[in-house]
Chains A and B, each alone.
Chain A
Amino acid sequence: MIKRYFEKVWVQNLTLLAMVGALAYYFTFIFEFKYDFDWAVFFVEGQYGHMGDLMVNGLNSTLTITLYSAVIALAFGTIFGLARLSSFKPVYWLATCYVEIFRNTPLLIQLFFWNFALPYAFPEEIRFKLFEMDFEFWCATIGCGIFTGAFMAEIIRAGIQSIPKGLLEASYSSGLSFPQTLRKIILPLAFREIIPPLGSEFLNNMKNTSLAMTIGVTELFWSMQEVLSLTYRTFESFIVATAIYLLLSLIIACLMNIVNEKLKIMPRDRITVLRRIADILFLPVDIIGNGLEYVFWYLRKSPEQKTVSPIARLFKSSIKTLSWGAKILFVAALGYLLYLLGTALMNFNYEIIWANLPALLIWRFPNGDSSEFFMGLGGLSGSLLMAIISITGSFFIGLFIGMGRTAKNNAIKIPCTLYIELVRGVPLVLVILWFYQVILDFVFKLEIHAFWAGTIALTFFFGAYIAETVRGGIENIPVGQVEAAKASGLSYFQTMRKIVLPQALKQMLPALVGMFIAAFKDTALVYIIGVMDLTRAAYAVNNRTMIYPFEIYTTVIVLYFIFSYVMSLYAKRLERKLSPESVRIAM
């Protein structure tokens, strides 16, 4: 009875409206808010200056960092992505090291390393020169760029490798040269594969710039905190910052969608409106591309030029020696770098590391006092525990929300979609602050330890990401199976439980392990609410020892790396086990 009613769209929409109404009623009339909003703080010059200006300045530098670091990331990603495909082993090793190290350690700790440890590697004069040049800003920008670049490198590598070997063989056998194959076959296909995930990396990069706050860059998140602590307007500052981040995410997502639409292959008679818009926007690019094509055609070699002149031959053979020279030079440079690294490691004060290792691993456990979390547990084991708890919780949230998003019922689909998109559009640090200072406090009036607040925030944050993975998994199941299940009389939940989810989950396993790595790395961000996780412990230890930043931060990076890398190896093994047909092609 109810079920039949729910198939009608107006009933669904009405339910949705009723839910919104109930929530609005609850929060306006029943819920004791005890907070009066005062939006004037952003428009009126107060005792401590104009808060609106502060936010605009913050937005300005967030945009600057985002743009610069995106360019840096793209450059690093392209160079190292191609280097990962190199058949010259030292280049491949270097690129692999870069990708694995930067992907498997938290950005926050990387920023700390660049900002607190790196300057001490230089002699004093150079250091002071550096500091005169807006060091924190460039530290954050380049740090974000390098971090995102590592992810982009993997995307670019995967995109180029995704081209089937048969296509390459076909192109070579039809007489195309390597540059021609690259331009006509590899790049067009690879771009179609690369650009959509690259877009989401740009989005992540924008959100990651919020961490620049921790090293004193006055970007949006910093401004939000400044407004918060100068005016004590928790809600206003949070809401404004969240809205700006959401807006930025929305803009980037829209651009991504337009680009993706442009890349789609669609029949001429079924062109969507969005595609038309994309076509108009990309018209200049098209014109330039076509123009270049003519230029290339005009500049092509005539057949008589193809006879090799002695000079050209000399040139060609000298290129070979030159490339040998370059290779030797590269290996020498790499060797020198390794030597420098080795001497630096030899000169480490291992006593300091050894003395502080217990604190980094377990913090004060079991000697902590009663007000601390679980007898003072923290450090690496605290981070791991938090990651395990939150990923377990977010798995269930993700499962239900992901299923809800694929549902046909508007009353379920719209709230689920809203949840996913809202959470994914905001930086995790902001989500953590929302949970710690607003949601758990004001809305649920719960008083819990910061550890649990952080865990809950992480749970809800990763719930949204897992939901997307679940949705992808569900949508990958052939429609025929679902129809067959329905035809044989299974209900929706039975179909889900018996047919769809088992298959979807199996496909999702590697992604879930990846998500666990991400959660483990992102526990570093609960640093901001004072939980003694590995990053905070490192910070406290560094604060105490003062003169050994290299030793402390390197140790912490190694600790993060070991765990993340081992898990990522496990994820790779799982993937290979689940899909045996992946074969690496050589170019």
Chain B
Amino acid sequence: MRVLKITVMAALLVMAASVAFAGPTYDRVMSTKVVKAGLSNQGIPFGFIDDKNDWVGFDVDMAAEIAKRLGCKLEKTVVNNNTRISFVQTTPSKVDMVLANMTHKRVRDEKIDFSITYFFDGQKFLAKKGTVKDVKDLAKMKVGSMQGTTSIVNVTAYLKSLGNANPKVIGYDGEVAMFEALRSGRVQAISTDSTLLLGYAAKVPGQFELVGEFISDEPYGIGLPQDDSAWRDAVNFAIQDIWKDGTYQKIYDKWFGPDSKYPFPLTSKIEMWP
């Protein structure tokens, strides 16, 4: 019985201790010198596992750079489309920032905070070469998108606007399943942010092409815990510094430059505060 009592006491103590350490993100990051970043591992070329089983990508490089500027060690955590919001929503947050090709939306901003836009993207369609002559063709096609993203909502609305009252849109579990569906012919087109589409299309060069215009703007922001303005400032300043000294351009060119696998011209400038 005594053993039981001691175990219970110890368990209670551990619980109490873990409850006690819950402070604002900024203080914690600055005191522990560790910044935890939530990153996708399915979003080519933002965060994915490469041939050497390394976790790489634009978001991964950005996270590493931000951590470097803050003088902290980076700790990477996997998030997916369903967890990328909830991981910074908890108190204390599971991760300190989320870079997972996440569009800055007002609905999302009600729940968590966002940094300034660090990447500009828009949604498009990807289909087998030559299958889509006219954008109107898309209306009758079976289109794949991803569960838990705004892409699927946008696609459904867009196809409805093209004149199909009951469009067939399937929400797959992540980018891989979505692209696989297009490749195997389950769906005739897929739609999400154009850079992701480029990333996957580059896996089998020459077979797929982007079609149509951008159907929505997708400014990416870094997801941050709600109401921690010191932390938000620190991240924003870091992003602006990265832009200012040209490191942003370097990282951008590494992934999206003209010589890269996924060429995507940089058209916008990030917000700079003098």
Number of interface residues of B (CB under 8 A): 53
Shortest distance between the CB of A463 and any CB in chain B (Å): 16
Q: Which residues of the other chain, A, contact B171 by a CB distance below 8 angstroms?
A: 216, 218, 222, 226
Q: Which residue of B lies closest to A31 (CB)?
A: B19
Given A135-B186, A213-B173, A544 contacting B92 (CB threshold 8 A): no
CA distance A532 to B41 in the complex (A): 11
Interface, chain B (partner A; CB < 8 A): 15, 18-19, 22, 41-42, 48-51, 53, 73-83, 85-86, 89-92, 94, 107-108, 111, 142, 147-150, 153, 170-173, 176-177, 180-181, 183-187, 203-204
Q: Are B147 and A216 in contact (CB under 8 A)?
A: yes
CA distance A360 to B31 in the complex (A): 38
Q: Which residues of the other chain, A, contact B186 by a CB distance below 8 angstroms?
A: 119, 131, 135-136
Q: Are A222 and B153 in contact (CB under 8 A)?
A: no
Q: Are B75 and A127 in contact (CB under 8 A)?
A: no
Q: Which residue of B lies closest to A531 (CB)?
A: B78
Among the listed B74, B177, B187, which residue makes an inter-chain contact with A371, where contact means beta carbons less than 8 Å apart? B74
3 closest pairs, A vs B, by CB? A229-B148, A530-B78, A371-B76
Q: Which residues of the other chain, B, contact A446 by a CB distance below 8 angstroms?
A: 18
Q: Mask for A359-373, Cβ within 8 A of B = 1, else 0?
A: 100011000011110
Among the listed A119, A229, A369, which residue makes an inter-chain contact with B149, where contact means beta carbons less than 8 Å apart? A229
Interface extent on A, as a size class? 35 or more
Q: Are B92 and A447 in contact (CB under 8 A)?
A: yes
Shortest distance between the CB of A436 and any CB in chain B (Å): 8
Does A48 have its Cβ within 8 Å of any Cβ on chain B? yes
CA distance A232 to B106 in the complex (A): 13
Shortest distance between the CB of B185 and any CB in chain A (Å): 5
CA distance A131 to B185 in the complex (A): 7
Q: Is the interface of B mostly helix, strand, loop or mixed?
A: mixed
Q: Are A124 and B185 in contact (CB under 8 A)?
A: yes
Q: Are A128 and B185 in contact (CB under 8 A)?
A: yes
Q: Are A229 and B42 in contact (CB under 8 A)?
A: no
CA distance A234 to B180 in the complex (A): 29
CA distance A540 to B74 in the complex (A): 23
CA distance A242 to B142 in the complex (A): 32
Among the listed A214, A359, A546, which residue makes an inter-chain contact with B203, where contact means beta carbons less than 8 Å apart? A546
Q: Which residues of the other chain, B, contact A225 by a CB distance below 8 angstroms?
A: 82, 147-148
Q: Which residue of A lies closest to B170 (CB)?
A: A216
Does A47 have its Cβ within 8 Å of any Cβ on chain B? yes
Q: Are A47 and B107 in contact (CB under 8 A)?
A: yes
Among the listed A128, A214, A540, A542, which residue makes an inter-chain contact with B41, where contact means beta carbons less than 8 Å apart? A540
Shortest distance between the CB of B66 and any CB in chain A (Å): 15
Among the listed A234, A437, A444, A540, which residue makes an inter-chain contact with B18, where contact means beta carbons less than 8 Å apart? A444
Q: Are A371 and B147 in contact (CB under 8 A)?
A: no
Q: Are B92 and A445 in contact (CB under 8 A)?
A: yes
CA distance A450 to B22 in the complex (A): 20
Q: Are A539 and B82 in contact (CB under 8 A)?
A: no
Q: Which residue of B lies closest to A453 (CB)?
A: B94
Q: Which residues of the other chain, A, contact B83 by a CB distance below 8 angstroms?
A: 437, 529
Q: Are A120 and B184 in contact (CB under 8 A)?
A: yes
Given contacts A32-B91, A540-B41, 18 further A-B contacts (CB under 8 A): A128-B185, A131-B186, A135-B186, A136-B186, A215-B173, A222-B147, A228-B82, A228-B86, A229-B81, A234-B86, A234-B89, A363-B53, A437-B90, A442-B90, A447-B92, A450-B78, A543-B42, A544-B50
Shortest distance between the CB of A334 and any CB in chain B (Å): 29
For chain A residues 411-451, which have a beta carbon within 8 Å of chain B? 437, 441-442, 444-447, 450
Q: Are B92 and A229 in contact (CB under 8 A)?
A: no
A sample of 27 inter-chain contacts (CB < 8 A) reads: A48-B150, A48-B153, A120-B184, A131-B184, A131-B185, A131-B186, A135-B186, A214-B177, A226-B148, A226-B171, A228-B148, A230-B153, A232-B89, A359-B53, A370-B75, A371-B77, A372-B76, A437-B86, A441-B90, A444-B15, A445-B22, A445-B91, A447-B94, A450-B77, A540-B53, A544-B51, A546-B204
Shortest distance between the CB of A226 and any CB in chain B (Å): 6
Q: Are A540 and B78 in contact (CB under 8 A)?
A: no
